[in-house]
Structure 1
Amino acid sequence: MPPRTQHPVARHLLRARDLADRCYAEPLAVADLARAAGLSPAHFSDRFAAAFGVRPHAYLLTRRLERAAALLRHTDHSVARVCTEVGLTSVGSFTVSFRRAFGRTPTAYRAAFPPAHDGALVPGCVVRAFGRPQHRSSGEDPAPAAS
């Protein structure tokens, strides 16, 4: 018996998923994704869930939370700013959703990933050498050579 092949995902559903991946930070709703796929919102939601195993709203929220986690790890932006940068509007809802997805609040998540420079050990002689002013400003420059 030949192996059963999985039915390929319809191109219009891929267009909608790509839109969610590309424009997650914009005010996107399931209706916008459905429009990109050329389907009614209810029909689109069912087809999307059947194809990708998750409802479109949950997919979009997951993309936003993944990006928020990256911003929390790699920037010093406030939690409120990260919330708006990924397309969410309520810091409270963002915190609840983030905790559900990552098991801790955004602030606790950031604390678990301190910046690399906090753990980097730089010898004191290097700090002193590169901490000195590079240009003299007090008239200590040598006089130009006499010709």
Structure 2
Amino acid sequence: MTGKAHSFVRTFPAGPARELRVDQHYLLCASAGALRLEAEGQAWVLPPARAALIEAGRPIRVSIPRPVTTASVLFDAGFVPRPPAPLTVFDLSPLARALLAECGAWGEDEQPLTAYAETLFTALAAVTWRLAERPSPVMVPVGRSPELRRALRLTEERLGEDVRFTDLAARVGLAPRSLARRFSAETGMTWRAILRRMRLLRAIEELAAGDTPVTTIAFEVGYTSLSAFNAAFQELTGRTPTDYRASFRP
């Protein structure tokens, strides 16, 4: 599009991570399914109720664990203010989601925005820039060293199992105490805390993927008690799993 802003609505199949860097401010989100975003040593899951605001020129890595429909917007840097941070992930309000849906009618073509469309995109930027001032805590670190990144990958592959830290340390070739120090130094979190966070992020992906019962999801991600799963999920997100899933729907 010539100037200002445009919406990007498209369905993608599952695919591995790939690096993106765009020359416009990028409001990245999904309308169905979930995206995975990695940048600046952290990783997030983006279900329909959440968005990422990425400053122009900022590199990110995006992967698609299951088919997803995006509902994103690109803003020209001269049309809107600079985002409040280079990259922020936050929960969308009902107003933001309504504006995002309405902006979906203006895709990437050669026609200039109408006055009505320009007003919509301006309002969407105002609302989401404000929301970006309150980032979501629902993320996990990705680590710097090869050993820690491998430990995190192995942990993610075994979320539904009885994962043992000593076994994990042996797989990456480190003593348990050395691996524990790596977790503390590179992520600021313990392995147990990251395991818990990974399980909840996987649960968010499953909640966004369809209508699988919450109890089934809890057991699939490694919880043996529904009450423990519900309590951990609400502590992290501020909502029950059922309420969180309901927020995905307009």
Equivalent in 99, 103, 116 of residue 234 of structure 2: 99
Q: Counterpart of 1:72 in 2: which secondary structure?
A: helix
Of the two, which has the highest radius of gyration?
Answer: 1
SS of the residue corresponding to residue 174 of structure 2 reads coil
Return the offset for 1:84: 1.0
User: Does 1:81 find its partner at 2:213?
Assistant: no
| Structure 1 equivalent of residue 171 of structure 2 | 36
Shift of 1:33: 2.1
CA deviations 1:72-121 (Å, max 9, x no partner) are 1222111110001112211111111100111111111112223xxxx6xx
Alignment of 1:55-134 (within 5 A): 55-114=190-249
1:45-96 CA deviation, whole Å, 9 max, x = no partner? 2221212221111111111101101211222111110001112211111111
- Aligned residue type for 1:72: L
Give the corresponding residue for 2:181: 46
1:20 and 1:102 map into 2 onto residues whose CA distance is 22
Unaligned runs of 5+ in 1: 1-7, 120-147
Contact 1:71–1:77 (8 Å) recurs in 2: yes
CA distance in 1, matches of 2:197, 2:239: 15
Per the alignment, residue 22 of structure 1 pairs with 157
CA distance in 1, matches of 2:242, 2:166: 32
Task: Name the SS of the counterpart of 2:181 in structure 1.
Answer: helix
Supply the AA of the counterpart residue of 1:17. L
Sequence identity percentage: 37
> What CA distance in whole angstroms lies between the structure 1 residues aligned with 2:159 and 2:223?
9
RMSD: 2.0
Larger strand fraction of residues: 2
Distance 2:199 2:247 in 1: 20
Q: State TM-score, norm by structure 2.
A: 0.40
How far off its partner does 1:35 sit? 2.2
Secondary structure of 1:89's match?
coil
Q: Report the Cα distance in structure 1 between the residues aligned to 2:174 and 2:184, rounded to whole angstroms.
A: 14
In 1, distance between residues paired with 2:189 and 2:202?
Answer: 18
Counterpart-to-counterpart distance in 2, 1:81 and 1:103: 21
The separation in 2 between residues aligned to 1:35 and 1:88, in whole angstroms, is 24
Inter-partner Cα distance in structure 1 for 2:222 and 2:241: 16
Q: Which has the higher helix share?
A: 1
In 2, the alpha carbon distance for the partners of 1:35 and 1:98 equals: 30
CA contact (8 A) 1:12 1:36 kept: no
